[in-house]
Amino acid sequence: MSAVGERNDLGLTAWDRYRILTSYRTIAMVGLSTNYYNASSFAAIYLDANGYEIIPVNPVQAGKAEILGKKVHASLEEAAQDHHIEIVDVFRPAAEAPELARQAVAIGAKVFWCQLGVISEEAAEIARAGGLEVVMDRCCKIEHARFFGGLRTIGLNTGVVTSRLAMKLPER
């Protein structure tokens, strides 16, 4: 353990996560829920409000509901037909991660990101072999809020020293 928040070697470095979150803007959220009290929904709402394009992927809800006013896709392949997906953000059990990593490689994603508690070495190997960067056991929302000062609104010390209320992402 090298520093506070650096729990393991699966999350890349803080600089790598910052670079990913400032370089890529389209996130396919696999397992995004229609239940707005789920963690996936909190993350999607926050990231959407901060300028990311969120692509819902949920086979159970595909064709039945919208999430954040957007069409829900049954698979990454289907989502990739309508969108250029850069980050695949996984809110599914680790046992499903290897197949999702294969799909992420097949659609040409740049980053395979697994949420807190989702760790699969097999999925990491598949994604890296396909040329993707891999982040596991991290939350996109928490990392974004940490880097750009958003955690302070709930009383957490982010380590970001600034007199501004928020830092905007660079325009692409």
Would you state the pLDDT for residue 152? 54
- List pLDDT tens digits, range 89-146: 999 999 999 999 999 999 999 999 999 999 999 999 999 999 999 999 999 999 998 8
Stronger pLDDT, 1 or 117, i.e. the higher one: 117
Instruction: Outline where 60-162 has alpha helix (H).
Output: 76-82, 97-106, 121-129, 140-148
Task: Let me know if residue 99 belongs to a domain.
Answer: yes
Residue 123 lies in a domain: yes
Using the predicted structure, report yes or no on whether residue 161 has a pLDDT greater than 80: no
Q: Is residue 150 part of a domain?
A: no
Instruction: Indicate whether 1 belongs to any domain.
Output: no
Mean pLDDT for the chain? 87
HSE-CB at 5 with a 13 A cutoff on CA atoms is 14
Tokens of 116: 């807190």
Structure tokens, 149: 């000062």
* Domain interval for residue 131: 9-140
Q: How many domains does the chain have?
A: 1
Asked, for residue 66, whether it belongs to a domain, the answer is yes
SS3 of 33, please? coil
Residue 157 forms part of a structural domain:
no
pLDDT(76) > 60: yes
Summarised one tens digit per residue, pLDDT across range 24-41 is: 999 999 999 999 888 899
Residue 127: CATH number of its domain: 3.40.50.720
Exposed e or buried b per residue across 91-113, where buried means at least 16 C-beta atoms within 10 angstroms of its C-beta: bbebeebbebbebbbebebbbbb
Looking at the domain assignment, is residue 78 inside a domain? yes
Q: Indicate the SS3 state at residue 45.
A: helix
pTM reported for the whole predicted model: 0.83
Per-residue pLDDT band at 166 (split at 50, 70, 90): low
Report the pLDDT value the prediction gives residue 4, as an integer from 0 to 100.
40
- The answer as to whether 100 is a domain residue is yes
- DSSP label at 171? P
- Report percent pLDDT > 70 for the chain: 82
Identity (one letter) of the amino acid at 13?
T
